[in-house]
């Protein structure tokens, strides 16, 4: 018979154990440990373990959690920097069928208490560095709602007390290294719970599933053109969208995870020089830190690849870091889509472009990765796509297997996000003739001055081209005549000088007059833990000027 027509002709050909296994990124570590057991899996300072040892530790964690009754339907929270325990939690927790909730270590006690209670954490694994804030958060919970606490006594952590019932290594020792964990029966079952960094009200809990994590982990490798055995430096927080799925990507490729407790220039350069790092991810601020490092290590011909996202990177930053031999890949995504799901896919004819034009092309957000089926820029009211003219602005919409299941305990927000069969990102952009999207602003960040829309990103891009500017962020400042005008917050390079008049005059050479900053404020920029500038803080400051 013609199998391609079997369903249409009424034949019932169901999937079975021989032809269907639920997709899950947990399959990667089992394969890697079997095929490359003696390759280095994790480096943390002088501590190194192989994939055989790493797999055994993850199974110990799963076994010990299962012995405490943890299984499907439970949530296990972890509060830790990029250390081995955080990596192991990305495997050991879902091996029990439970859901991993990686906490943002920059949050205050009240927000952490809300997260623990809203997510229903049964177990909390916490690094001693965060003992004070976690103790305060736990005290805010009803006693009956407090999770069982496991302490991580990491040797590289600063001094801090232990607040739990057992230390992490002792907890692992109680587990079975040969624990027979099971693949999920349903690939649509939840694997992780990540909370958005809400700027007003409580954060929303984004629920993701095994299938999406599996597919986006592999899409990362394909989008980046990664070969086997990469050496990956953990500059991106693993709590942020589960490290953009890279705990599973690097594992699938039998690579090496190089842990880093703090994202500091000296620590990054040391790891790059001494650990053989080939890949790293981070926000544009991380790229800026590397681009502006006073000294650069000799890579000995080794290529260093950096993937950047979180905020649209200024073309000037891309140009600066690529001059140091770092190849930038620009991606874009959100917590609701597992991290990066578009990529500025490189075109060979771009090699002929001048450096500044090449950087401008690479600063675009690009096209869908292989896990995302649909991407469009459209009118948010009608969902009609905008023309691909690089000028007409609309909202960015997505659909595909790498879109979240929804927001936990928040049906109204879920329905709003999925209205019309597309995920509404809230990001504004344009669509170019070649199909690449180009973000212009968050819908809440766009400046409307005298009825004209002004992209804060466009103004920031120009400011970054000034030789004295290290960082820049632009927000709306209320104005009696125009409604709003651009207000620029600027950080100058060390030893550099520039006045408000200097920067406005520079912008006048590149921008229409109505787009010029009317105010320039010098000083540091408030940022989230993932390097995003907290524009809501700057908007408040601009209103108060």
pLDDT tens-digit readout, 181-211: 989 999 999 999 999 865 446 789 999 999 9
Nearest-angstrom CA–CA distance, 160 and 6: 64
Tell me the C-alpha to C-alpha distance, in Å, between residue 141 and each of 171, 407, 495. Answer: 24, 22, 49
- The correct answer on CATH 3.40.50.10860 for the domain covering 215-442 is no
Asked if 368 and 341 touch (Cβ cutoff 8 Å), the reply is yes
**What are the start-end ranges of the E strands in 432-517?**
437-442, 447-449, 452-454, 469-479, 483-492
Res 11: pLDDT:
64
Nearest-angstrom CA–CA distance, 70 and 76: 8
Mean pLDDT over all residues of the chain?
A: 92
Q: Which of 345, 324, 326, 342 is nearest to 334 (CA)?
A: 342
The tens digit of pLDDT for each residue in 112-142 reads 999 999 999 999 999 999 999 999 999 999 9
Q: What's the mean pLDDT in 20-29?
A: 96
Task: Place 451 in a pLDDT band, splitting at 50, 70 and 90.
Answer: low
pLDDT at 355 > cutoff 90: no
pTM: 0.85
The tens digit of pLDDT for each residue in 216-241 reads 999 999 999 999 999 999 999 999 99
**CA angle at 536 for the pair 535 and 537, rounded to the nearest 5°:** 85
Residue with more model confidence, 13 or 151: 151
Domain boundaries, the chain: 47-182, 215-442, 447-544
Res 298: pLDDT:
87
Res 199: pLDDT:
44
CATH no. for 47-182:
3.40.50.980
Asked if 267 and 293 touch (Cβ cutoff 8 Å), the reply is no
Tell me the C-alpha to C-alpha distance, in Å, between residue 116 and each of 74, 91, 113. Answer: 12, 20, 5
Tell me the C-alpha to C-alpha distance, in Å, between residue 203 and each of 97, 163, 164, 198. Answer: 24, 26, 26, 4
DSSP bridge pairs for 126: 79, 151
Asked if 375 and 365 touch (Cβ cutoff 8 Å), the reply is no
Nearest-angstrom CA–CA distance, 12 and 38: 46
Q: What's the mean pLDDT in 14-25?
A: 90
Give yes or no on whether 47-182 and 215-442 have one common fold: yes
The segment with the largest mean pLDDT, out of 127-131, 289-293, 322-326, 492-496, is 127-131
Res 301: pLDDT:
83
Architecture of domain 447-544: 2-Layer Sandwich (3.30)
Res 200: pLDDT:
47
Q: What's the mean pLDDT in 250-255?
A: 98
Nearest-angstrom CA–CA distance, 363 and 358: 9
Task: Place 409 in a pLDDT band, splitting at 50, 70 and 90.
Answer: very high
pLDDT at 43 > cutoff 80: yes
């Amino acid at each position: 018979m013609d199998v391609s027509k079997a369903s249409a002709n009424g034949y019932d050909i169901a999937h079975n154990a021989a032809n269907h296994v639920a997709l899950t990124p947990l399959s990667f570590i089992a394969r890697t440990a079997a095929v490359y057991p003696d390759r280095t899996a994790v480096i943390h300072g002088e501590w190194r373990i192989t994939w055989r040892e790493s797999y055994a530790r993850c199974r110990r964690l799963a076994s010990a959690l299962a012995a405490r009754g943890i299984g499907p339907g439970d949530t296990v929270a972890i509060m830790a920097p990029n250390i081995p325990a955080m990596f192991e939690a990305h495997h050991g927790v879902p091996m029990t069928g439970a859901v991993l909730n990686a906490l943002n270590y920059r949050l205050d006690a009240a927000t952490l208490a809300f997260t623990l209670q809203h997510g229903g954490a049964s177990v909390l694994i916490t690094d001693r560095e965060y003992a004070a804030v976690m103790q305060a958060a736990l005290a805010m919970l009803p006693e009956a709602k407090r999770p069982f606490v496991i302490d991580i006594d990491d040797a590289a952590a600063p001094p801090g007390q232990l607040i739990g019932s057992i230390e992490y290594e002792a907890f692992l020792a109680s587990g079975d290294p040969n624990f027979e964990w099971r693949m999920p029966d349903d690939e649509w079952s939840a694997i992780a719970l990540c909370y958005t960094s809400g700027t007003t009200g409580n954060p929303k809990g984004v629920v993701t599933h095994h299938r999406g994590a599996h597919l986006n982990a592999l899409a990362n490798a394909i989008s980046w053109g990664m070969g086997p055995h990469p050496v990956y430096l953990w500059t991106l927080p693993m709590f942020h969208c589960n490290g953009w799925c890279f705990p599973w990507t690097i594992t699938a490729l039998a690579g090496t995870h190089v842990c880093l407790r703090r994202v500091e220039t000296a620590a990054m350069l040391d790891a790059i020089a001494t650990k053989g790092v080939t890949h790293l991810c981070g926000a544009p601020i991380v790229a800026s830190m590397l681009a502006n490092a006073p000294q650069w290590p000799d890579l000995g011909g080794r290529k260093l690849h950096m993937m950047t996202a979180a905020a649209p990177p200024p073309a000037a930053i891309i140009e600066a870091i690529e001059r140091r031999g770092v190849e930038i890949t620009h991606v874009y995504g959100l917590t609701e889509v597992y991290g990066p799901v578009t990529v500025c896919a490189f075109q060979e004819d771009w090699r002929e472009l001048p450096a500044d034009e090449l950087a401008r092309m690479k600063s675009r957000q690009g096209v869908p990765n292989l896990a995302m089926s649909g991407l469009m820029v459209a009118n948010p009211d009608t969902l009609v796509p905008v023309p691909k003219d690089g000028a007409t602005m609309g909202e960015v919409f997505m659909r595909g297997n790498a879109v979240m299941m929804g927001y936990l305990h928040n049906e109204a927000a879920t329905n709003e996000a999925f209205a019309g069969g597309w995920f509404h990102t809230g990001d504004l952009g344009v669509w170019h003739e070649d199909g690449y999207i180009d973000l212009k602003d968050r819908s809440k960040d766009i400046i409307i001055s005298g009825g004209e829309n002004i992209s804060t990103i466009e103004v920031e891009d120009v400011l970054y081209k000034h030789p004295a500017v290290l960082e820049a962020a632009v927000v709306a400042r209320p104005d009696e005549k125009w409604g709003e005008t651009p207000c620029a917050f600027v950080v100058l390079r060390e030893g550099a000088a520039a006045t408000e008049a200097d920067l406005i005059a520079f912008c006048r050479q590149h921008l229409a007059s109505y787009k010029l900053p009317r105010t320039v404020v010098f000083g540091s920029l408030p940022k989230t833990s993932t390097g995003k500038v907290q524009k809501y803080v700057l908007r408040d400051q601009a209103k108060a000027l």
